Amino acid sequence: MHRLLSVFLLLLPVSLVRAEDLPRVHTHAFTAKSYTSNRVRIPGNGRASGFSIFQDVRSVRYMAGDSASWSSGSFDDRAWAKRQHSDSLVKLDAPVYWIRFHFSVDSALAREHLMLHVTSPGALEVWMDGIPLMRSSAGMDDLPKEITSLQAPAALLDFTLGKVAPDTAHVLAFRLVRPAKGGSFKDLKAVVHSVTATGSLHRSAMHHGVFIGVNVLMLLMALIYWRLSRQDKVWPWFAALTAINAFMAFNSLLGNVAIGLPSSVPDAVSYLSTLTILLPLVLSVIVLQVLLGKLDRRRLAAYVAAAVLISATLAALTRIGDGFGNELDLAAVITVVVLVILLAIGYLWLAVDALRFGWQALETKGYVRWLGAGIVLSVLAPVLKYLPFVVRAMVLQQQDEALPTGLVLATDYMNYIAIPLSIIIALAIRAAEQHRLLSRQRDELDEEVRERTAELRQERDRSEELLLNILPEEVAEELKRNGSAEAKHFDQVTVLFTDFQGFTTMSTQVGPAELLAELNACFKAFDEIIARRGIEKIKTIGDAYMCASGLPDPENATPADVVAAALEMQAFMAERHAQRSAQGLFAFRMRAGIHTGPVVAGIVGVKKFQYDIWGDTVNTAARMESSGEVGRVNISGDTYALVKDAVVRSQLPVRSTTTDNQKPSTDLPFTFTPRGLVEAKGKGGMEMWFVDRA
């Protein structure tokens, strides 16, 4: 009886109110347009298209107490308390509360498959039109004491609107049990969203992850290039531009997707992003002017001042906006209007400069045009993104429609990826151009090296030839190898001396040029004769010609080869004398002497050095020549002993300075004419022989 009286007294104030005096309950209309244009934060996931039920102060009624009839769709709750502000549910302190939400469904949304995401700190039961949807006894009281500060437990309900009659009033009823240790209902949330909202948030997170990652990579690359090429002034500005783009993408990520950070972090990042929202535009203009070589200190100071003033203006607008109450302050309104005008002027100035210098960069040849294209696309991205929205709002008077998802995604990629992509393309083009330039320079250098090498080889060959004209090959190699050549003793060397008869007298009768030409023709023929025989030329002294066999390699030529060479020289001289005499020209007659014996051979001096031989053998050979007769070859007894039984290769007498006209070799012996003892100057009587061909 006591309990019945209490219930009667509790319901008495309600029963005394006449139905016609109660306010009408507002019914929230779910429409496809309002649903898609509204964004709501899904607890633990992020922001997506949807609706927060408890935010609608007109369609929500609540009452402390408990009654099974309050779940019915026909229950009259007009006498219940109406939500007044965002904290009206937080301060409730009764153990049990009922919340009723009145709504209707647009026929265009009736087929949508939505989810009801409910977060409650205590036990929860949900009905729709009196039909139970969910019952959960879990709450903050069921959590361990050490983790009671965590987010309240959440429940996800299938909320298929296709089962709801369209254009008809419906009621969602919530029975809430206030937790004993969980405190208030501040964690109470009820959000209606699409079943694909989570997937959309994941895709958004993926795209923003790409934006952040690409810009961070470009930031690192720009810093590396700046470190390696300090003279290139564009890289620090590119680094700043990619850094601010990465920060903006991170702010957009925090605004859409919950990533487990404390709520203060997204708020701080959002505030900083608001202050620096036009900084990418400022940096883009600076980068363009650096690329075009038009950035001076005055322009840079102007852009830095513009960035500071814009940030200060945005900070002031944010502070004034946070301070607005229900009553509008005229001074604050005027201040806001002035600041907005200044902000618009600054933005238009920067945008015009960006487009102007961007167009100049596009007209520039080379990789600069790609950097300009990326910056221009990044500058135009916000315009392309919000221009349809502005046109639809101002011209078509459609303000509650969301931007197309494809347009938002495309412009976001233009905004965040255009600059990094343009940097990559520009660097690739520049690298290709540098590679092509280096390849051309390398080819030109290789060609020059080949030419220089050929010239050096020719010079080396000429030097080698000159050196071999001065020194024997073996001695020249030793000199090149060791820097010096040691004198050597040879036991058996055959020395040939020749001398022209009457050369001194003839030199007074003939011009020096003609005399030298004839002398050169004869000696050139002698050089060819001894070269064929492997005989080493030693030197010429005036009209005297000296050569030897048996050195520096004893196997090169034999004494018989020297005798044969002397005979060829005499034959050449006889033939040339006959030819020149027939032409009325002067001609030389020659004596030749040969001796064989030991000598010492080596290099004399360090300047204009030459290979020479010393010893009595040389003096004796000279005596053989002076003791001989014109047109004959005079040999010593030592030489005769070595060649008397020898045969040699016979060749035609040398008729010219060439060696092309030769007969096949045959073996012919020598004939000797003994002369007996002949007095030689400084030597006394010596046995001598004239030698001829058989």
For residue 89, pLDDT over 70 is answered with no
Q: What is the pLDDT of residue 572?
A: 94
Q: What is the pLDDT of residue 659?
A: 46
Model confidence at 182, pLDDT cuts 50, 70, 90, reads low
Contacts of 685 (CB under 8 A, 6+ apart): 677, 678, 679
Across residues 464-492, what is the average pLDDT? 78
Question: What value, to the nearest 5°, has the Cα angle with vertex 24 and ends 18 and 26?
Answer: 155
Considering the domain architecture, whether residues 118 and 230 belong to the same structural domain is answered as no
Considering the domain architecture, whether residues 238 and 150 belong to the same structural domain is answered as no
Range of the domain at 70: 23-195
Q: Evaluate whether 589 touches 573 at the Cβ level (below 8 Å).
A: yes
Considering the domain architecture, whether residues 529 and 672 belong to the same structural domain is answered as yes
Partnered with residue 493 across adjacent β-strands are 597
Q: What is the pLDDT of residue 85?
A: 57
Considering the domain architecture, whether residues 302 and 218 belong to the same structural domain is answered as yes
| DSSP code for 72 | S
5 within domain boundaries: no
Number of domains in the chain: 3
Across residues 16-43, what is the average pLDDT? 64
Considering the domain architecture, whether residues 353 and 227 belong to the same structural domain is answered as yes
Across residues 199-216, what is the average pLDDT? 82
Q: What is the pLDDT of residue 84?
A: 63
Give the residue, 521 or 313, on which the prediction is more confident. Answer: 521
Last residue of a domain, one of 195, 218, 237: 195
Alpha helices in 17-94 (DSSP H): 32-37
Instruction: Tell how many helices (H) and how many strands (E) occur in the chain.
Output: 16, 21
13 within domain boundaries: no
Model confidence at 396, pLDDT cuts 50, 70, 90, reads low
| DSSP code for 275 | H
3-state helix, strand, coil in the chain (%, to 5): 50, 20, 25
- Tell me the range of 127-141, 269-283, 375-389 where mean pLDDT is highest: 269-283
Distance, CA of 585 to CA of 576 (rounded, Å): 10
356-373 pLDDT, tens digit each: 888 888 888 877 888 788
Q: What is the pLDDT of residue 45?
A: 65
Considering the domain architecture, whether residues 172 and 313 belong to the same structural domain is answered as no
Considering the domain architecture, whether residues 92 and 185 belong to the same structural domain is answered as yes
Q: Evaluate whether 602 touches 490 at the Cβ level (below 8 Å).
A: no
469 within domain boundaries: no
3-state secondary structure of 407: helix
Contacts of 287 (CB under 8 A, 6+ apart): 234, 237, 238, 241, 371, 375
Considering the domain architecture, whether residues 252 and 238 belong to the same structural domain is answered as yes
Considering the domain architecture, whether residues 142 and 67 belong to the same structural domain is answered as yes
Considering the domain architecture, whether residues 544 and 628 belong to the same structural domain is answered as yes
Q: What is the pLDDT of residue 352?
A: 84
467 within domain boundaries: no
Distance, CA of 412 to CA of 353 (rounded, Å): 22
Model confidence at 206, pLDDT cuts 50, 70, 90, reads confident
433 within domain boundaries: no
Q: What is the CATH number of the domain that holds 256?
A: 1.20.1070
233-268 pLDDT, tens digit each: 888 888 888 898 888 888 888 777 666 667 677 778
Last residue of a domain, one of 162, 195, 228: 195
Give the residue, 240 or 187, on which the prediction is more confident. Answer: 240
Percentage, residues of the chain above pLDDT 90: 16
452 within domain boundaries: no
